[in-house]
Structure 1
Amino acid sequence: MSTPSRPRHLRIGVDVGGTNTDGVLLDPSLAASPSKGIISWHKSPTTANPSTSINRAITALLASSSSPSFTAVPPTSIASVTIGTTAFVNAVVERDARRLSRVAVIRLCGPFSKHAPPCVDWPDDMRALVLGYFALVKGGLEVDGSLIGAIDEDEIRGKCAEIRALNQQTLENGDGKGSRAITSVVVNGVFSPIDTVRYKQEERAAEIIREEMDGSVDVVCSKEVANLGFLERENAAILNASILSYARRTIRGFEEGVRRMGLTCPVFVTQNDGTILSAEMAARLPIRTFSSGPTNSMRGAAFLVQDGGRKGEEGEGEAMMVVDIGGTTTDVGLLLANGFPRQQAAYSELAGVRMNFSCPDIKSIGLGGGSIVRKGDSDHAMTVGPDSVGYRLTKDSIIFGGKILTATDCTVLADPSLKIGNPELVKGALTDEELATFKTIIRQKLENAIDVMKTSPEDLPVILVGGGAIIAPTNLKGASKVLKPEWSAVANAIGAATAGVSAVVDTVRSTETKTAKQLLEEISKEAIQKAITAGATPESAKVVEMEELPLAYIANKTRFIVRAAGDFDFSRTDLAPDTTDPTSEQDIEQSEPDSSSSTTTTTPSPSPSPPPTPHSPPRHLNLLPYRLLPHLVHLRDRPPLDLHRLLYPRHRRRRLPYGAMILLRQLLRAGAVVRVVDPLDVPDDAAVGCGCGAGSPTVSIEKLQGDEMMQAQTELYKLLPESIRATHMIALEIGGGNGLQGMSLAASSNMDIPCVDGDWMGRAYPTKWQTTPVVFDERSPIWSPIAIADGNGNVVVMPKAVSDLAVERIMRVALSEMGSQVGCADPPVKGDEMKRWVVGNTISQAWRIGRAVARARGENRVDEVAEMIVEENENIAAVRIADSDLEGGEDGELERQEDVLAIVPDLISVIDAQNGEAVGTPEYRYGLLVVVLGIAASDKWTGTARGIELGGPKAFGFEHLEYQPLGTFVKPRSVVEEFNVEE
């Protein structure tokens, strides 16, 4: 039978993996048929040149067919070629100087972010390899869209001149080709993702740079790459810029290969959310392809078990779990009812670089067909993995004549009909009891991974794909059904072939004149139009996901995130392959760098250079002998170690303290000394000052701290008599970023005074009147006079107030008009007052918690992290949430026994049971295994009725609840006292 005459109705999907390249040719109009429309498929080892692998796969697909309806496929019938590739992410992971270019960064930030320069949190070798220059210039927006400052075009032109001079110097001193010259410039503006209508500062700066550099560099606007989160967006933009030249060459190579085979259809590349990018867009934003591999597998698996990958058995969309079992690892991801993989919350990390671009939420466990099985003995239980024979399965496993017992061996022993290897060789390898134990281990590992990834307790369909899927049982707890579809071995290529088009709008809008519902309607229309512009058919484009996030401490401001998606419009001709010359002079120079180039080479810069980082912590630390010596904590020798321990449970996931940690670390790296003293060692006549940051967490992740903290202190002391100057500093609260502000202000490069080991809360509270000095009420108001500064030249000083509540309310009004983020300076109190009011030794306690988490990881005892934290801190109790906390109800459903175990002012902290890290409320979801820590409140709160009134349940609207102590408060052990010894 001849090939159908319909033009351009077939799709080719190719996924280039590190080991194999998979390809599939399918007819989407036959997706509901038993064949799923799959005409042919191909799998072969990946070659060094991904273009060669792609060409071989496409040639094989066009020449063969698994369907009797097709004998040969004419090129004119191909509507699209969609490619998934790991080439770009591998360039970053491998730190390949041949594929990564040097980048300059120009920040539009005004007076902000100078304490956290570009790449400040990168591994040293990555920063040296990629960052060639940076400059901080005027510009940036506030959260409400008003200006921090207008851009200075002459200033930007001057920075371009410096980049040209630097490149010229590199050319003269280098190999003559300028292979390590700067070839890309990133422009990053404060709150640039919301700068879409009026100012468009990043776009204007990019125009100037292109004019000044005569097109010799690529220019990347950060807002095109990622959304809110200044450092994370900048990091993503820098990585994207560093691989632009390589991506352009690679994608042009893809297109050239396709054209040489007589195909004139558009070429697409799959991105992280399961949709496609045009080749042109992928060459501009290659970072969006970094995590497309797992996504392709998930989308392909769904296609194989659903009607075209869109409908469940009842015709409605349904969520499903995809379990991709390979030779070494198993990747588990959730495909939502909208047909797209669930994305990670907060941020992602690649090659030690923290970013916030969209990535699928995948859990990987050390389980695969090659997992090594150890039988165990009387003292040790049987284990399966996490180590594996990997690609040596066909040589090392017993069924293939090897000597290592693997999961595949045990599976064949249980079911010889699988016809894998020689089943006779594995007979007797396990007893019946041992085989049953093996099956139980496999089942439990998969069930636990599935449960962690679920978003509700309801059972979901589970799809098994990958070459190692044979080891999985056909029934799993938490699965409504377990499916092992045909063609699952090339699910990733199927996912590429069937990918659609998506677009996201992430913006902050005012709800003062329009309701949230009205704004969502407007933004949804924007997202749909954006998807259509990207290539979706108008009739299929629809909103598939929306999120509404009111901004904390900011009136009438809400962040909206809306995603729209649809099928690709194959009638579009504006996305056809580019027929221009696939190479350029710049690309040729970059493609063949001098062999003597080093990944650690740095080039002198006439602008502020990246800070020296000789003290980054080694990857493997022996933490047990490490001591903090805080009577004089001189951290120049090891600053990252100490701060890493202090913030270990909190800074990695939660955004709020991250900027404060970076600021303090930079001060220490620049040579500052921080002295931490025991509260009891402070003289009675001392003056103990306090400073804090106030504002919205959303603003703090975008408008990084400048000098507002010290500006507020300076303005405050202009009001006070000369005789009153702070001799010591103390933190307002130990929680969040303010837990570090006392040390930052006290550092020798700022106020050069000791910091008290304690704070005014012993935890975090939302207001200044919820502090222990207010509880004691020995003088009121305690928090006036007060000064706040926004870091941009605006200062508010309040010399007098009638109450601390009035201070809070009035300052909050001013705060909203000052960019929703300020530095605050409080008047000093006397040393003897501090001793009565302070919650003491909280810096010591934070450090001990961090050390316990670090020890748990270093000793591979993360499952005991709660116990280790409790061991370090006598006033902390731990509660694990497990199935044993559930009981059966009358209807047979599980019910949770409810009781109040802890309530304010006791502190409740939730940590991830898998790694010991703190879990912020945005990350709460069903299936997350957690340990809940209860920390008994200081007797400064619980010792009086006033303390319970200000900090207890009724202060938060829980009128029906009475405070019941979690336990007896035990004052944290002082690190100063314990380790204050001479060395």
Structure 2
Amino acid sequence: MSFLRIGVDVGGTNTDGVLLDPLATSNLNRGILAWSKSPTTSNPSHGIEQVIKALLETAQIDVQNVASVTIGTTHFTNAVVEKDRNRLAPVAVIRLCGPYSRDVYPGIDWPQDLRDIICQHCSYVSGGLEVDGDLIADIDESQIAAECEIIKSKGIKSVVVNGIFSPSDVVEKQEERVAEWVRKYYPLADVVISKEVANLGFVERENAAILNASILPFARSTIRSFEHAIIRLRLDCPLFLTQNDGTVLSASLAARLPIRTFSSGPTNSMCGAAFLVKNETHSESMLVVDIGGTTTDVGMLLANGLPRQAAAVTEIAGIRLNFSCPDVKSIGLGGGSIVRRSPVTGNLTIGPDSVGHHIQTRALVFGGDVPTATDYAVLAEGLSNIGNPEHIPLAVRDDIPGYASVVQQMIERAIDSSKTSDMDIPVLLVGGGAIIAPNTLKGASRVVKPEYSGVANAIGAAIARVSGTIDTVASTTEKTTKEVLEEISKQAVDKAVENGAIRDSITIAEMEVIPLQYVANKARVIVKVIGDFDFSAPIIRDSASNDSFQPEDDVREKAPLSRSESVAVSTPAPVDILSYRPQINSQREWIVSQIDLEWISTGCYILGTGGGGTPYPHFIRLREMMRKGAVVRVISPKDVRDSAVVAGGGGMGSPTVSIEKLPANEQMEAQRLVYDHLGYEPEAVVALEIGGGNGLQGMILGASTNMNIPTIDGDLMGRAYPTSWQITPVVLAGDRAHFMPTAISDGNGNRMMILSANSEKHVERFFRAALSEMGSHVGFAEGPCSGKDIKEWVIENAISLAWRIGRAVALCRAKNQIDAVAEVIVEEVGGKNSAKVLFKGKIVSVERKTIKGHVYGEVIISAADVSGSGEGAQFSGTLKIPFKNENLAAIAVDGDGSETVAASVPDLICVCDAGNGEAIGTPEYRYGLMVAVVGIQASERWTSTERGIEIGGPKAFGLDIDYKPLGVFQKPRSVIDEYVL
């Protein structure tokens, strides 16, 4: 019976292999029967073949005993990172979107050089679904036929089909039908449907699908070469590739979805490292330092033995993708790194260039003529089993002390940049280049070099399992949540079985139900399962379709194509955060820059107190407007004329909808409906709320060519609230309708205007009733008010506050002091008298339910060491946060069960990711996230009267809590006043 597993990891310098007996992992040798390491060849299949052959010969086992070969490779990632035109095919995108998303074209947030290579054409056609499954528009075969002719005429053969809410489209199957039409009218095209590549999140899913389509031809050729190597070795077993979550893909599936292998190398190393030390270390976090031939990768191995993941949205080569990857930092230091003296300073330098897989011919110790880190390590450590030390010139020996110092400094800096506090932490050294690292390192409580550490990446590949994931929107109208979970879990299990897992071995790894805000009886359901591979299944080798086999080193040049929508982009240069000054002109107008906008966007989501939705889609839209010449002007409330006409508005609806259905022109349509009816134009615009995506809407409207007016530095909430009537005018000027007429538009031809109403609460109810029939997200325009009223109502300098908070987060990242981000935010919003770090820990429980469109729930955070330093938690007990779209209170629970209210609305309770400082919204709460909770004293507009507490305080949300101020409100400092010349 076949039971042995072979793991191979193809790195930039070395190809590592291990032969593992999974039934003997508790033995002293960890079940490792043989291991091998050899230089990576220009055609990786040759190196793979050599390594596997060496494993079989060393272990002296019959090939019939090998159950699987699993390969980890960086080849597909490298094609993107290196921006190699020869390995990246141009791509056309067909969006099934109706009128939506046209201001956010494919690749809008990419580095320009990659966008120019890959993003060559976009078609906006009928199609797409609403969140409830209704059609935005039906698809049209004639449109697809016409677009195929255009794509064919441009010589583009890779096509992505991306539909709004396609991951939850199980009935219409629009992407699948359009893909069939593309193949019908353009048989030579490679078609990728986005729902197979990634999950909910239109921009990030499309980015992943585009990259996947671009590397498809190269991936097929490469994987076919891997299969030929297996066949030549007479191995009659399945071939897998590892993906970024530590599980595997069959070769045939990897050839269709090569992007899932991205970042698998670091994952393999970290999983292999955990395997090597699982019986030798206490339950504590460790830094894994994987030193290869070209680079050193540093990541955190958590106490549970799994890699610390980056945020749900990650970046590769500057492109946002919505699948989670290990949080790894890399530097140009490896065994093949070239060592030289600077002709200018005379100082010794190491890397970042490397001899790579040519180390055995070019390094001094092997008779070559290039000084490498390995040469110095051989002399420094007195190693006699690597090459011939006699080949190394005497001059090199004189540089050993300087070399050791540089290596130590480089690794220590990498360790420091990967930690989230200044506490020492255990460091686990793995990788073939680990010989160059010293045995003691600053920042490390101890340094561990386990046996077999040189092939940890191959071990990680060998032990990987099979997964299946479903991320969809499901109806709970006719089924209980339990029934929905059971149904989606069965789909995930079926998907894992389709991917090759044994059904009986499958267990649930992740399960989450997130009710959708403002959408009745709908929930986002995410289920991930993991199981063992079924080695008894027939082997299918169809990865390369009908392509003829082409060795990887037979590279065909591709003539570059011009983009159909070329856009001149001015990308701001990196700034010195401490010395940066925003631009304030002589009219006291703040001319917002791209870096200002980035910081404001970060601050807006933190001020959203869990609600408001991510500002990111609005951020990239406004940034693109600025790149095309739009000017965003912000003015101080005190500079607004009393008689000025001030407009307002924003988005209304579910944040989950806004991450899929990118805006059409609904915001401006609603504004035009109001002002065309009135017959005059506004002079300025103010945001309804600074929290979340609406914090940017005032600037988007103001910078539009249809308005071109300044935005007031303030808002009417000072945060995010779940209803549009919870605003300062209702607090300060009574319960009436303050903004008449008022209007909404869905961007798809449906508009509604209210000419009069009894109160703002009635306006809210009328529009909420219409919302579900208009796609659960609309543009909302308030009627005008006067400059005099705005001065009385506005919470001043809200945009300035968002800017300062965002700058604080950016500064902590730049200094690698994310562990202190909560304390820095406190200082930015007024200091300890005005704000507090309420808690730090890990989310251990989330409960949600939907009532009248609002998501009610509670998140429980257990005190934990969020830095991973192993020094214990700063706080004790637990903190529970009830929420209604936004966070309502922070209640500390001691070990004996006693409760103390640490903060409540209207004060702001902000939950930040401890790993990057970004806000975490209530829909994003999930088990295991390390977080820091910050409380900020609310504006006196809310707290100085009983009416403010009645409308925005805890009892307004059904909490039996008496409001107690967190501190003393300090008016945010105006950026305009501080930086005006």
Residues 517, 411 of structure 1: CA spacing in aligned structure 2 closer, same or farther, 3 A cutoff?
farther
- Match of 1:349, SS state, is strand
The Cα of 1:966 is off from its aligned counterpart by 1.6
Residue by residue over 1:527-556, the C-alpha shift from the partner in whole angstroms, topping out at 9 and shown as x without a partner, is 112211211123222323212222223221
**Aligned residues: percent identity?**
49
Q: Is the 8 A contact 1:325 1:369 kept in 2?
A: no
The Cα of 1:364 is off from its aligned counterpart by 7.1
| Residue from 680, 685, 694 that aligns with 2:638 | 680
Q: Is the 8 A contact 1:107 1:187 kept in 2?
A: yes
- Match of 1:277, SS state, is strand
Q: Is the 8 A contact 2:471 2:525 kept in 1?
A: yes
Q: Is the 8 A contact 1:762 1:937 kept in 2?
A: yes
CA distance in 1, matches of 2:152, 2:485: 45
Q: What is aligned with 2:165?
A: 191
Q: What is aligned with 2:571?
A: 616
- Match of 2:748, SS state, is coil
Residue by residue over 1:435-476, the C-alpha shift from the partner in whole angstroms, topping out at 9 and shown as x without a partner, is 9xx99x99999899789899xxxxx999764464986789x9
Q: What is aligned with 1:110?
A: 98
Write the letter of the residue equivalent to 1:507. Answer: T
**Which runs of structure 2 are paired with 1:171-190 in the superposition (5 Å)?**
182-190=156-164
The Cα of 1:510 is off from its aligned counterpart by 1.1
Q: Is 2:550 aligned against 1:591? A: no
Which structure features the higher share of strand residues? 2
Write the letter of the residue equivalent to 1:940. Answer: R
Q: Is the 8 A contact 1:651 1:658 kept in 2?
A: no
- Match of 1:591, SS state, is coil
- Match of 2:93, SS state, is strand
Q: Is 2:618 aligned against 1:647? A: no
CA distance in 2, matches of 1:9, 1:224: 31
The Cα of 1:386 is off from its aligned counterpart by 13
Q: What is aligned with 1:969?
A: 970
Q: Is the 8 A contact 1:852 1:868 kept in 2?
A: yes
Q: Is the 8 A contact 1:504 1:564 kept in 2?
A: yes
Q: What is aligned with 1:285?
A: 257
**Which runs of structure 2 are paired with 1:930-941 in the superposition (5 Å)?**
930=932, 934-941=935-942
- Match of 1:613, SS state, is coil
CA distance in 2, matches of 1:447, 1:980: 38
Q: What is aligned with 1:378?
A: none
Q: Is 2:183 aligned against 1:210? A: yes
Write the letter of the residue equivalent to 2:968. Answer: G
Residues 858, 298 of structure 1: CA spacing in aligned structure 2 closer, same or farther, 3 A cutoff?
closer
Q: What is aligned with 2:850?
A: none
Deviates more, 1:95-104 or 1:877-886: 877-886
Q: Is 2:96 aligned against 1:86? A: no
Q: What is aligned with 1:223?
A: 195
CA distance in 1, matches of 2:875, 2:527: 39
**Which runs of structure 2 are paired with 1:528-677 in the superposition (5 Å)?**
528-576=493-541, 583=548, 591-593=555-557, 602-603=561-562, 605=564, 609-610=565-566, 612-619=567-574, 624=579, 626-629=581-584, 639-649=593-603, 656-677=614-635
The Cα of 1:693 is off from its aligned counterpart by 0.2
Write the letter of the residue equivalent to 1:346. Answer: A
Q: What is aligned with 1:376?
A: none
The Cα of 1:589 is off from its aligned counterpart by 13
The Cα of 1:752 is off from its aligned counterpart by 2.7
Q: What is aligned with 1:175?
A: none
Q: Is 2:712 aligned against 1:711? A: no
The Cα of 1:266 is off from its aligned counterpart by 2.4
- Match of 1:656, SS state, is coil
Q: What is aligned with 1:331?
A: 298
The Cα of 1:951 is off from its aligned counterpart by 2.2
TM-score by length of 1: 0.80
Q: Is the 8 A contact 1:333 1:453 kept in 2?
A: no
Q: Is the 8 A contact 1:220 1:241 kept in 2?
A: yes
CA distance in 2, matches of 1:623, 1:193: 43
- Match of 2:505, SS state, is coil
Q: What is aligned with 1:782?
A: 738
CA distance in 1, matches of 2:149, 2:545: 31
Q: What is aligned with 1:801?
A: 757
Write the letter of the residue equivalent to 1:190. Answer: I
CA distance in 2, matches of 1:116, 1:453: 41
Q: Is 2:789 aligned against 1:830? A: no
Note the aligned Cα RMSD (angstroms): 4.9
The Cα of 1:703 is off from its aligned counterpart by 0.5
Q: What is aligned with 2:650?
A: 692
| Residue from 156, 165, 179 that aligns with 2:153 | 165
Write the letter of the residue equivalent to 2:655. Answer: P
Write the letter of the residue equivalent to 1:567. Answer: D
Q: What is aligned with 1:488?
A: 453
The Cα of 1:223 is off from its aligned counterpart by 0.5
Q: What is aligned with 2:229?
A: 257
Q: Is 2:129 aligned against 1:135? A: no
Q: What is aligned with 1:171?
A: none
The Cα of 1:514 is off from its aligned counterpart by 0.9
- Match of 1:737, SS state, is helix
Q: What is aligned with 2:891?
A: none
Deviates more, 1:729-738 or 1:747-756: 747-756
CA distance in 1, matches of 2:233, 2:940: 78
Write the letter of the residue equivalent to 1:201. Answer: Q
Write the letter of the residue equivalent to 1:200. Answer: K
Q: Is the 8 A contact 2:95 2:123 kept in 1?
A: yes
Write the letter of the residue equivalent to 1:688. Answer: V
Q: Is 2:315 aligned against 1:354? A: no
CA distance in 2, matches of 1:797, 1:863: 48
Write the letter of the residue equivalent to 1:615. Answer: S
TM-score by length of 2: 0.80
**Which runs of structure 2 are paired with 1:270-281 in the superposition (5 Å)?**
270-281=242-253
Q: Is the 8 A contact 2:605 2:691 kept in 1?
A: no
The Cα of 1:489 is off from its aligned counterpart by 2.3
Q: What is aligned with 1:771?
A: 727
Residues 366, 679 of structure 1: CA spacing in aligned structure 2 closer, same or farther, 3 A cutoff?
same
The Cα of 1:582 is off from its aligned counterpart by 5.5
Q: Is the 8 A contact 2:632 2:702 kept in 1?
A: yes
Q: Is the 8 A contact 1:321 1:450 kept in 2?
A: no
Residues 269, 962 of structure 1: CA spacing in aligned structure 2 closer, same or farther, 3 A cutoff?
same
CA distance in 2, matches of 1:951, 1:629: 34
The Cα of 1:409 is off from its aligned counterpart by 12
CA distance in 1, matches of 2:658, 2:364: 55
Residue by residue over 1:572-599, the C-alpha shift from the partner in whole angstroms, topping out at 9 and shown as x without a partner, is 11424669876279x99993206xx6xx
Unmatched runs of 5 consecutive residues or more in structure 1:
1-5, 168-181, 307-311, 372-384, 397-401, 414-420, 455-459
Q: Is the 8 A contact 1:93 1:351 kept in 2?
A: yes
Write the letter of the residue equivalent to 1:205. Answer: V
Q: What is aligned with 1:173?
A: none
| Residue from 46, 61, 76 that aligns with 1:52 | 46
- Match of 1:692, SS state, is strand
Write the letter of the residue equivalent to 2:504. Answer: E
CA distance in 1, matches of 2:820, 2:272: 38
The Cα of 1:763 is off from its aligned counterpart by 2.1
Deviates more, 1:246-255 or 1:621-630: 621-630
Residues 951, 634 of structure 1: CA spacing in aligned structure 2 closer, same or farther, 3 A cutoff?
closer
Q: Is the 8 A contact 2:636 2:797 kept in 1?
A: yes
CA distance in 1, matches of 2:506, 2:827: 55
- Match of 2:692, SS state, is coil
Aligned residues: 895
Unmatched runs of 5 consecutive residues or more in structure 2:
338-348, 366-370, 383-388, 391-396, 841-864, 866-870, 878-893
CA distance in 2, matches of 1:764, 1:241: 39
Q: Is the 8 A contact 1:325 1:368 kept in 2?
A: no
Q: Is the 8 A contact 1:269 1:276 kept in 2?
A: yes
Q: Is the 8 A contact 2:248 2:466 kept in 1?
A: yes
Residue by residue over 1:751-805, the C-alpha shift from the partner in whole angstroms, topping out at 9 and shown as x without a partner, is 2333222211222222222211111125612244321111111222233322222
| Residue from 168, 173, 181 that aligns with 1:200 | 173
CA distance in 2, matches of 1:251, 1:56: 17
The Cα of 1:498 is off from its aligned counterpart by 2.7
Q: Is the 8 A contact 1:118 1:134 kept in 2?
A: yes
Write the letter of the residue equivalent to 1:938. Answer: S
Deviates more, 1:545-554 or 1:776-785: 776-785
Deviates more, 1:534-543 or 1:243-252: 534-543
Q: What is aligned with 2:468?
A: 503
